[in-house]
Amino acid sequence: MKKEDRLEVIKTELKKSRKILNALCDENRQNILLVLLENYSTGGIRVDDIAKRVNLSRPAVSHHLKNLLDNNIVGTNEILSLKSLLQNIELYVEERKEELK
């Protein structure tokens, strides 16, 4: 793919991923998401247990969970959108490396 075309794809993917990137810029949400991912295969984890693991109050965890849910971060579509963005950035970097050889 031409450089300009790849950059246009990245620009589009960034726009689609803006909400998830903004929501994930918060360190507490990142930590909560990591706890959720660690416990995904076990069928989930209670809010009280998350609060203990991330050293936040239960209301604070609930607030952050609502933000993650409202931004569909735990939903398939947003994760796929972010994945597509990251793949296109990786392809762009690899293509530029090839040009420098």
- 28: domain CATH number is 1.10.10
Residue 59: what pLDDT?
A: 96
Are the C-beta atoms of 3 and 78 separated by less than 8 Å?
Answer: no
| Distance in angstroms (rounded) separating the CA atoms of residues 33 and 15 | 22
Is residue 77 predicted with pLDDT exceeding 80?
Answer: no
Q: How many domains does the chain have?
A: 1
Mean of the pLDDT values across residues 8-30?
89
Domain that holds residue 40: 3-100
What's the distance, Cα to Cα, between the start and end of the chain in Å?
A: 17
Confidence of residue 19 (pLDDT cuts 50, 70, 90): confident
pLDDT tens per residue, range 55-74: 999 999 999 998 988 887 77
Is residue 42 predicted with pLDDT exceeding 90?
Answer: no
